Amino acid sequence: MSAVPGANPGATSGAAPGAPRSGVTRSGVTRAEYCVIACAEAWRGDGEVLASPMGLIPSIGARLARRTFSPDLLLTDGEALLIGPDGTPEGWLPYRQHLALVTGGRRHVMMGASQIDRFGNQNISCVGDWERPTRQLLGVRGGPVNTLNNPVSYWVPRHSARVFVPKVDMIGGVGYDSAAAAGPTATRFHRIPRVVSNLGVFDFATGDRSMRLASLHPGVTVEEVAAATGFELTVPDDVPYTREPSPAELRSIREDLDPKGLRDREVKG
């Protein structure tokens, strides 16, 4: 494993070698659309579980996954109703039942992260010293219960060294090192399948469960990712590009799921 200039696109995707370095590739697919695909892939193979996307692009991704390769996923309206693929309510999920469902484990959430570190510890609580933060954010919310009970992926729309930090200021979402240190109660159901950013996809498929570059969005280089990451990432010899959307997926994103193009406001290019 070493840092390789550029990425080898031949590994798993059909991305054109030498794709232009701007956000839009030769195929006309935007960066936001690659992000949608990368988020959707988080729920592949999950079966009949609740998909809980937080943020716009994860929401488009989860709905895309359900219409294509993960048809049994459950999704809510963002409040208390479970909504079927055709928009018809199919069930009730108020907060109290949602919290019970979390602990039952049949859920895969994609949360945001104001900070995330090398082992997947996540912070949306505050920046600086917890006793007197320089910047108070939301609070831990459901990070602790989510990470100890069901798979938790993360979405970062603006990849930077301020987000990808060596150590988070307040651990809400539990990372692999923290879970291991806390013992079997913490590790038993703990899993962080992936982190998706505007630059690429990351996972923890390494010996020490530290973060690894899993794929680059077409147009992004390894150097760009390294420069925007505040810790040393594991970079495989061959880094694939995030896969291309199929024509049907692209049509679905553009015409049905996000016809107004709101995704381009979350991720430019």
Nearest approach, Cβ of residue 126 and another protein (Å): 7
Residues in the chain: 269
Sign, CA dihedral 178-179-185-190, equals positive
Nearest approach, Cβ of residue 144 and another protein (Å): 4
Contact segment (CB under 8 A) with another protein among 6-14, 122-130, 159-167, 253-261 equals 122-130
Whose tokens are 């291991």? That residue is 180
Interface with another protein includes 87 (CB under 8 A)? no
The Cα–Cα gap between 122 and 205 comes to 18
Q: Select 72 or 79, whichever has its Cβ closest to another protein.
A: 79
| Bridge partners of residue 196, in order along the sequence | 155, 201
Nearest approach, Cβ of residue 264 and another protein (Å): 21
Total chain residues near another protein (CB under 8 A): 47
Instruction: Return the residues of window 99-118 that contact another protein according to CB under 8 A.
Output: 99, 102-103
Burial of 189 (0-12, 13-18, 19+ CB in 10 A): middle
Instruction: Return the residues of window 159-198 that contact another protein according to CB under 8 A.
Output: 170-174, 178-179, 181-186, 188-190
Interface with another protein includes 88 (CB under 8 A)? no
Nearest approach, Cβ of residue 201 and another protein (Å): 25
263 dihedral zone (left: phi>0; alpha: psi -120 to 50; beta): alpha
Order of strands across the sheet with 212-216? 50-53, 107-112, 152-156, 195-197, 200-203, 212-216
Nearest approach, Cβ of residue 244 and another protein (Å): 33
Nearest approach, Cβ of residue 137 and another protein (Å): 7
DSSP conformational letter for 249 = H
Interface with another protein includes 96 (CB under 8 A)? yes
Binding mask 128-157 for another protein (x = CB under 8 A): --xxxxxxxxxxxxxxxx-xxx--------
Binder to another protein among 7, 32, 57, 126 (CB under 8 A)? 126
Burial of 171 (0-12, 13-18, 19+ CB in 10 A): buried
* φ, ψ for residue 103, nearest 5 deg: -75, -20
The Cα–Cα gap between 253 and 51 comes to 18
CB 140 within 8 A of CB 147: no
Binder to another protein among 59, 125, 153, 234 (CB under 8 A)? 125
Nearest approach, Cβ of residue 103 and another protein (Å): 7
Q: Select 30 or 121, whichever has its Cβ closest to another protein.
A: 121
Residues forming contacts to another protein in the complex (CB under 8 A) are: 79-81, 92, 94-96, 99, 102-103, 125-126, 130-145, 147-149, 170-174, 178-179, 181-186, 188-190
